Amino acid sequence: MVTLASKEAREVKKATRAAFGKTLIELASEGIPVVGVDADLSSSTTLAAFASSSPENAKRFFNCGIAEQNMIGVASGLALTGNVAFTGSFAVFGTGRVYDQIRNTVCYSNLNVKITPTHAGISVGPDGGSHQMLEDIALMRVLPGMRVLVPADYAAARSAIRLAALTPGPIYVRMGRANVPCVYEDGVDLEIGKAYKIREGGDVTIVACGVEIREALLAADALAEEGIEAEVIDAFSVKPLDSETILTSAAKTGCVVTAEEHELIGGLGSAVCELLATDQPCICECVGVRDRFGKSGNFEELLGYFGLDWKAIVEAVKKALARKGLC
């Protein structure tokens, strides 16, 4: 069982990316042979904090300049010499631009390389559609052998980086730029392949990941005021997906709503629908971005604009309940 953050702690907002460099420092001090490889975005990814933490860690950081393809190759070579290699850059470049390098070198060779870019989704806000990566979960999920972790908050991100360091083979950790409220207690240990029930309810199951956990919890609060009890599940491990936790909840509530800061095609919603359709057919509504690119704006505005905020989840829940015949 994981412990959730206290009410006071929930008020504290931190970005998931802030856990990246700090956790690498922690791992290095424990003797884990981590290395960081970035492509000119190390202050944004926080790998710079790792590099500047000690002369030894400075030697364990490699800046490739604006050359992401080489970043993946260099990380692969470092992994081949016994290191746990973490890559940087923004998610749009660190997964999409280097998809072939990740596929053919990292995954096909099954190397101990961690794909850990930051600024995923619309959290990069004003930079606009060119920088808002909404297809990364789909791209990484489809790769044979790749595990996909989407931390909801700082503590989950720290846990994801630790898991990535301690679990051999390719792992993608999706981190964002936006400050998000704490969900879990500091120091929480999450697991690959696990989803976490963070709110109990019997009427509908909301399966969310990343920043959508905050929206899902707000939606659950709003629904409770109308007498609708939502169960909220954090699909921290999008691949492998925790089918048991999701199916158990779906069996109880009879309808599911997914929520992700990502394109609907190929993301968490797709993964949950694939699971439900093949194992336990059930009503399912999906909240996410619908076949389009991002747009400039601030993060909070964009959540509303793209229909990713708690209101959109409430609407989707009502639609699902209507289909279930209860509303």
Binding site for another protein (CB under 8 A): 35, 37, 59-60, 62, 64-65, 67, 69-70, 72-83, 85, 100-101, 103-105, 108-111
CB of 58: closest distance to another protein in angstroms? 12
| Beta carbon nearer to another protein, 100 or 274 | 100
Q: How far is the CB of 79 from another protein (least distance, A)?
A: 8
Q: Which of 254, 250, 313 is nearest to 287 (CA)?
A: 313
Q: At a CB cut-off of 8 Å and minimum separation 6, what does 280 contact?
A: 247, 250, 251
231 is catalytic: no
For residue 152, what are its two tokens? 């909801």
Nearer to another protein, 65 or 304 (CB): 65
Q: Which is nearer to another protein, 98 or 257 (CB)?
A: 98
| Residue 84, beta-bridge partner list | 34
Single-letter code of the amino acid located at 298? N
Structure tokens belonging to residue 46: 């926080």
Give the sign of the dihedral formed by CA 154, CA 218, CA 171, CA 264: negative
CA atoms of 218 and 324, how far apart (whole Å): 22
3-class state of residue 287 by DSSP:
strand
> Which amino acid does the sequence have at 194?
K
Measured from the CB of residue 174, what is the shortest distance to another protein in angstroms? 24
Min dist. Cβ of residue 59 to another protein (A): 7
Question: 193 phi and psi, to 5 degrees?
Answer: 90, 5
Which is catalytic among the residues 68, 135, 215, 261? 68
Min. distance of Cβ 88 from another protein in angstroms?
A: 14
For another protein, the closer of residues 111 and 303 by Cβ is 111
Closer CB to another protein, residue 6 or residue 104? 104
Q: How far apart are CA 161 and CA 158, in angstroms?
A: 5
Residue 111 amino acid letter? L
Which residues are tagged catalytic?
Answer: 68
